[in-house]
Every structure is written in structure tokens, then in C-alpha cells.
A = this chain, B = another copy of it.
């Protein structure tokens, strides 16, 4: 099999296993089994487990944000798109195997030990913050609102995971609606 396809299968296996059970709980042998690649190939494409972990995080960040953006951008511009973020969260939370934010989880597990993991996690949150800021700007709201939304999104993800309660997305959505109203009043309805 060609290398590119194998890399994809390896990353698919890594994502499923790392996200589902944690970074240290999954061994290279299991990734070999699930991906179908040989151990030799695995180490050719990713010279160490650390490299594979980082590649997993980087790809997941890209895909996660792309999925969110695709969902959001199907709505018409403005406040609807901001609220769509929470609709997307709700669908995600209801998926079987949802286990919180891969980046927060990885940061908690290895952030103290691995700079690469800590950076990947921070980059993800920064990128999410920027994306929320772009939606907020599009809707004509204040930049401050984006920071509030980030807290709501991250808070909803964590509590939904720990409490196994997808309703956190609804709470976050309602709260965001309130914040939009409030910010609308503050900025005088310029958006």
C-alpha cells in the first residue's frame, strides 16, 4: 500500500484510540493492530510515539475546526452563525464516544511533560478563539463577546464530558443568546 494511504489509516487509528482512551493508555502495538500497518512502517512514517501524538493533535485540530466552520457557514451570516456553534456542539456531545476536548485532555495528561502537546493545545484554543472572534465581528458585536463565547464553548465541552450530559450545549446556547442581547443593548444595536 502506498505511504500516503497508510499514513491516513495510522492517523485514523491513532485518533480513535488516543481520543477514546487517552494518550498513555494506548500502545504502539494497538495502533498497529487497528491501522493494519506494520510496526516498521509505523516508525518509518512517525519516528516516535511523540511524533504520532503531535500529528494526531495537529490533524484533529484542523478537522475539528473545519467541521465546525462547515456547519456554521451553512447558516446565514450574523448572530445565527454564533448560535450555530452551540448547535454543532450539541450534535457532537450526543455522538457515541464523545469524551471532551482532545486538547484539554491531552494537555492535562502530558502538557506538563511535553512542550509539543502543550503548544498544540494552546494553538487549538487560540485558533478557536480567533474563529469565534471572526463570527462575532461578522455579527457586528464587540470583541469582548468573543472571549465570553470561548469560555462558554470550553466550559460546555468539559462539563458535557465529565457529567455525560449533552444538555450543557443547550445551557451554553441559551447563555450565548443572552449575551448577544446584552451586547446588542450595550453597543446600541449597531450590528
Interface residues of A (CB under 8 A from B): 20-22, 24-25, 99-101, 103-113, 118, 121-122, 124-126, 144, 147-148, 150-159, 161-164, 168, 171-172, 174-175, 178-179, 181-182
Cβ–Cβ contact B182 & A125, under 8 A: no
A174 in complex: contacting residue of B144, B163, B168, B172, CB < 8 Å: B144
C-alpha gap A143/B111 in the complex (Å): 36
- Say whether B22 contacts A162, CB under 8 Å: no
Give complex CA distance A99, B179 in Å.
28
Partner of A148, one of B106, B147, B175: B175
Q: Which of B24, B100, B125, B159 contacts A150 (CB 8 A)?
A: B159
Chain B residue with the shortest CB-CB distance to A148: B175
Residues on B with C-beta less than 8 A from A109 are 22, 24-25, 105, 108-109
Inter-chain contacts of A178 with B (CB < 8 A): 148, 179, 182
Contact assessment for A22 and B113 in the assembled complex, using a CB-CB cutoff below 8 Å: yes
Contact partners of A154 in chain B: CB under 8 A: 154-155, 158-159
Q: A24-B24, A104-B108, A105-B108 are in contact. List 8 more A-B contacts (CB 8 A).
A: A104-B104, A104-B161, A108-B109, A144-B174, A147-B168, A151-B156, A158-B158, A179-B182
Q: Which chain B positions have C-beta within 8 A of A118? A: 162
Measured in the bound complex, the distance between the Cα atoms of B173 and A144 in whole Å is 12
